[in-house]
Amino acid sequence: MNFSKIDLLKNELDGLRPLPTAAVRNLEQVYRVEWTYNSNAIEGNTLTLLETKLVLEEGLTIVPTVLKIVCKSTLVR
């Protein structure tokens, strides 16, 4: 296998390090929501990505959403 393209991209990424603190926080926030959403979806949770984001970041729930589903989403954190 030829990994030259991967090596070039890795070197480019390494040249950007260390990432700014704000960028790291943003990535952590985005991935926390996406990982929670995907993990819950695998288990059959019907919350949308936006609903998951609202539950995690704002503590808000959508009116018809069952409380049990919301509680499971917050436990993944």
The reported pLDDT for the residue numbered 14 is 93
Q: What is the mean pLDDT of residues 1-15?
A: 92
The DSSP line for 21-68 is HHHHHHHHHHHHHHHHHHHHHHTT----HHHHHHHHHH----TTS-HH
More confident residue, 59 or 14: 14
The reported pLDDT for the residue numbered 67 is 55
Q: Which tens digits make up the pLDDT trace of 33-58?
A: 999 999 989 988 888 898 888 888 88
Owning domain of residue 29: 4-76
* pLDDT at residue 13 tops 60: yes
Q: Which tens digits make up the pLDDT trace of 16-36?
A: 999 999 999 999 999 999 999
Number of domains in the chain: 1
Return the ∠ at Cα 13 (arms to 7 and 19), rounded to 5°: 160
